[in-house]
Amino acid sequence: ESSQRYPEKLRRVKYYDAEHDRHLVFLSNQFDITALMIAELYRNRWKIELFFKWIKQHLKIKAFFCTSANAVKTQVWIAISAYILVAIVKKRLNIDLTLYTILQIISVSLFEKVPIYQLLTGTENNNPEEWSPNQLNLWNF
C-alpha cells in the first residue's frame, strides 16, 4: 500500500547509533548523498523538532494570537528570543537550574527590583563588578 501512496523509489538506510546503542532505519528519496549524511540530516531535524516542542510547552505558544503569516512569525521569533535570552543568562551566570525553572522564576517576579543573579540563586553576587560593565540599569532613569 505504501508504494501506491508514494510511487517513486525510496532508499532504506540503516544506521547504528553507538552513543545510545540502537539501530535506526530511515527512508529517503535522496540517492546522491551518503548514508551517514542522511542519518545526520534526520538527527538534526529531530533536534529542531524537539526545540519547537520545548517552545510550545514552555514558552506558552499554545495557540497563535492571529493567523496571518507575519503574526505567526512574529510570535515564534519572540518566543525564540526569550528562549535564547534565558539560555544566555543561564550560561553566563553558571546557574544549575533548568531553563523551565528560570522562566517560571522570571515570570512570577518580572517587575521586582532584584538583580537577576540574586533572583535565580537566592544569594547576592560576591563580585558585582564582574557583571556590571555589561549590565544596564533599567530602573535608574
Residue 16 β-bridge partners: 23
> Measured between alpha carbons, how far is 103 from 83 in angstroms, rounded to an integer?
9
Long-range contacts, stretch 102-106, CB < 8 angstroms, 24+ apart: 103/58, 103/59
pLDDT at site 45: 93
pLDDT at site 54: 78
> Measured between alpha carbons, how far is 141 from 130 in angstroms, rounded to an integer?
23
pLDDT band at 129 (very low <50, low <70, confident <90, very high): low
Tens digit of each residue's pLDDT (9 = 90 or more) over 70-127: 988 898 888 889 888 999 999 988 999 998 899 889 989 988 888 888 889 888 765 6
Site of grid cell 515564534: 76
Nearest CA to 88 out of 72, 106, 70, 71 is that of: 106
Q: Is the pTM of the predicted complex or chain greater than 0.85? A: no
Burial 105-124 (b: 16+ CB within 10 A, else e): ebeeeeeeeeebbeebeeee
H or E stretch including 44?
Answer: helix 35-58
If you average pLDDT over residues 9-20, what whole number do you get? 92
Q: What is the mean pLDDT of the chain?
A: 84
Q: Are 59 and 79 in contact (CB under 8 A)?
A: yes
3-state secondary structure of 21: coil
